[in-house]
């Protein structure tokens, strides 16, 4: 039998094995029980250690694990978006998008300044814009960092693609090795809004209860099968939509192809929007009497989402690559270390300012996202909010959509220092930094007025409620 048909299945089985081993370690070793360390992160590091990049005991394909992460991320967010919930207007989405874009800018400024310092001091042969891989690797993940790095190879950045992956690797390390101690510190200080121990205990004891208008167990198909079918249909619509738009965009040349790649990268967001549309449709059908049962089953969808995120996080860490580190050790360590420190403080203080509810949960989610990917952000959030009681996951997903709008100019700005390098005009480096700073200032100004407007509206609501209560008395 052709072994090729087994490869993806074996990779999934290896990820499952790592997860089981991590579960055993967490239950047996006191250190893992004492501190809040997501099982999926432990499993990911087991895979990283025994995988092809380090010990080589187990041979799995890193690209296939990347594909697994790609699809599981969409499945998880579609499942969460299909869940029925109390409908509330989330006014933090615009602020979330601006914060994500500001993280890109801060990382870009720090990385570019450091790479220029290295070029004009001890590393004159270093590719000057190399520091701009920091926001690509940390803020946007290995895909974008690898893609841009490959393009820069043609301009003189040796091993640019692998260097992009290496920077992204250090982002993952910041998200996990640094993120987990931060998580534990904040929980022990009582900063988290959700009672973590109680939430985890409730999750372990949760039982499915059947409501009167829910699909009965005696039906001809299993309830889990129907939830999986719903997710699959939403994902099919997502694929068909992006595929159709891509064919139209490719006719526009390089810009169209670049934008099409961006759409494929945000497939989880498009899938989430379709899922929300399905959920609203089911609610309307139910009110009109066309839907006899609660089609989305919150309990089962929560289990599907949780499992998807667990396997996604495990695979994403196991697929980390260290290939290019030997050639750029000092620049990578300097840029990622200082960039990581700045990212921690930037997101922490911005989260405290923006989010009046669940600031710590939002900080952990955006920190994990700003140093790794949305999957590592979800890993840290899941550790303190295992039942997704807060709106952090919505802020991450919908905020990413807003960040696309605010982040598009940054992709254009990346070409300015490249033009300066190709045309031997170093003054373009200064122009790039000035534009970055000016744009960051505009974002902060917009954010300031947006947050103040929200605060004024909340104070006005409190006055109205207080006045109403007084009148009743």
Structure tokens at 181: 């101690």
Residuewise pLDDT in 10s, the chain (473 residues): 455 678 888 889 999 999 999 999 988 888 777 776 778 888 988 998 998 878 889 888 877 887 787 788 788 888 888 877 655 566 778 888 899 999 999 999 999 999 999 999 998 888 898 999 999 888 877 666 776 777 787 777 777 777 877 888 788 889 888 888 888 888 877 666 655 454 444 444 444 454 545 555 545 567 788 889 999 999 999 999 989 988 888 777 766 766 676 677 668 778 888 988 888 888 888 777 776 566 788 788 888 888 887 888 788 778 776 766 677 888 999 999 999 999 999 999 999 888 888 888 899 999 988 997 777 787 788 778 777 778 887 888 778 777 877 877 877 787 788 888 888 898 999 999 999 999 999 999 988 888 887 766 666 555 545 555 555 55
- The alpha-carbon radius of gyration of the chain (Å, integer) is 23
DSSP annotation string for 155-215: TT-TTHHHHHHHHHHHHHHIIIIIHHHHHHHHHHTT--SS-HHHHHHHHHH------TTSP
3-state secondary structure at position 293: coil
Could you state, in order of their start, the residue ranges of all structural domains in the chain?
4-196+299-458, 223-298
Neighbour tally for 471: CB within 10 Å: 7
- Give the torsion through C-alpha atoms of 100, 105, 107, 110, to 10 deg: -160
Determine how many CB atoms are found less than 10 A away from the CB of residue 404: 17
| Per-residue confidence (pLDDT) for residue 218, from 0 to 100 | 47
Which pLDDT score, from 0 to 100, does residue 255 have?
Answer: 61
**Phi, psi angle pair for 285, to nearest 5°:** -65, -40
**Per-residue confidence (pLDDT) for residue 121, from 0 to 100:** 92
Q: What is the pLDDT of residue 82?
A: 85
Question: Cα(first)–Cα(last) distance of the chain, in Å?
Answer: 81
For 407, the token pair is: 């982040």
Residue 200's pLDDT is what?
46
Return the SS3 of 350. Answer: helix
**238: burial class by Cβ within 10 Å (0-12, 13-18, 19+)?**
buried
Q: What is the pTM of this model?
A: 0.70
d(CA 385, CA 382): 5
Question: What distance lies between CA 426 and its chain's CA centroid?
Answer: 35
Please list, in sequence order, all residues whose beta carbon lies within 8 angstroms of the beta carbon of residue 433, skipping any fewer than 6 positions away.
109, 112, 113
Contact present, 355 and 92 (Cβ < 8 Å): yes
Q: Which of 16, 33, 94 is nearest to 454 (CA)?
A: 94
């Amino acid at each position: 039998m052709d072994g090729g048909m087994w490869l993806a299945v074996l990779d999934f089985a290896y990820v499952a094995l790592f997860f089981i081993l991590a579960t055993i370690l967490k239950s047996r070793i006191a250190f893992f029980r004492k501190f809040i360390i997501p099982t999926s992160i432990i499993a990911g590091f087991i895979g990283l250690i025994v995988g092809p990049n380090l010990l080589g005991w187990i041979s799995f394909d890193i690209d296939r694990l990347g594909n697994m992460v790609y699809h599981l991320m969409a499945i998880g967010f579609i499942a969460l978006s299909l869940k029925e919930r109390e409908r509330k207007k989330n006014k933090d989405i615009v602020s979330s998008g601006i914060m994500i874009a500001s993280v890109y800018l801060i990382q870009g400024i720090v990385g570019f300044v450091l790479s220029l310092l290295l070029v004009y001091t001890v590393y004159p042969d270093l590719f000057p814009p190399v520091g701009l891989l920091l926001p690509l690797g940390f803020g946007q993940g290995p895909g974008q960092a690898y893609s841009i790095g490959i393009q820069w190879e043609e301009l003189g950045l040796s091993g640019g693609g692998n260097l992009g992956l290496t920077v992204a690797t250090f982002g993952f390390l910041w998200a996990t090795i640094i993120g987990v101690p931060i998580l534990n510190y904040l929980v022990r200080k009582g900063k988290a809004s959700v009672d973590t121990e109680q939430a985890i205990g409730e999750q372990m004891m949760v039982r499915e209860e059947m409501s009167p208008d829910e699909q009965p167990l005696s039906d001809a198909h299993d309830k889990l099968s129907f939830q999986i079918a719903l997710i699959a249909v939403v994902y099919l619509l997502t694929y068909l939509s992006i595929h159709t738009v891509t064919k139209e965009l490719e006719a526009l040349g390089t810009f169209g192809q670049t934008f099409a790649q961006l759409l494929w990268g945000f497939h989880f967001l498009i899938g989430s929007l379709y899922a929300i549309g399905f959920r609203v449709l089911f609610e309307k059908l139910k009110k009109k009497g066309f839907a006899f049962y609660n089609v989305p089953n919150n309990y089962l969808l929560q289990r599907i989402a949780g499992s998807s995120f667990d396997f996604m996080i495990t695979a994403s860490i196991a697929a980390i690559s260290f290939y290019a580190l030997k050639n750029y050790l000092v620049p990578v360590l300097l840029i990622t270390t200082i960039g990581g420190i700045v990212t921690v403080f930037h997101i922490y203080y911005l989260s405290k300012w923006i989010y009046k509810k669940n600031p710590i949960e939002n900080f952990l989610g955006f920190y994990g996202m700003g140093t790794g990917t949305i999957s590592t952000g979800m890993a840290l959030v899941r550790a303190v909010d295992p039942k997704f009681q807060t709106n952090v996951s919505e802020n991450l997903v919908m905020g990413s959509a807003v960040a696309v709008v605010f982040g598009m100019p940054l992709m254009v700005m990346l070409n300015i220092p490249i033009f300066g390098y190709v045309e031997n005009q170093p003054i373009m480096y200064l122009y790039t930094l000035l534009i970055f700073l000016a744009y960051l200032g505009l974002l902060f100004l917009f954010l300031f007025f947006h947050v103040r407007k929200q605060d004024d509206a909340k104070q006005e609501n409190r006055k109205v409620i207080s006045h109403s209560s007084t009148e009743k008395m």
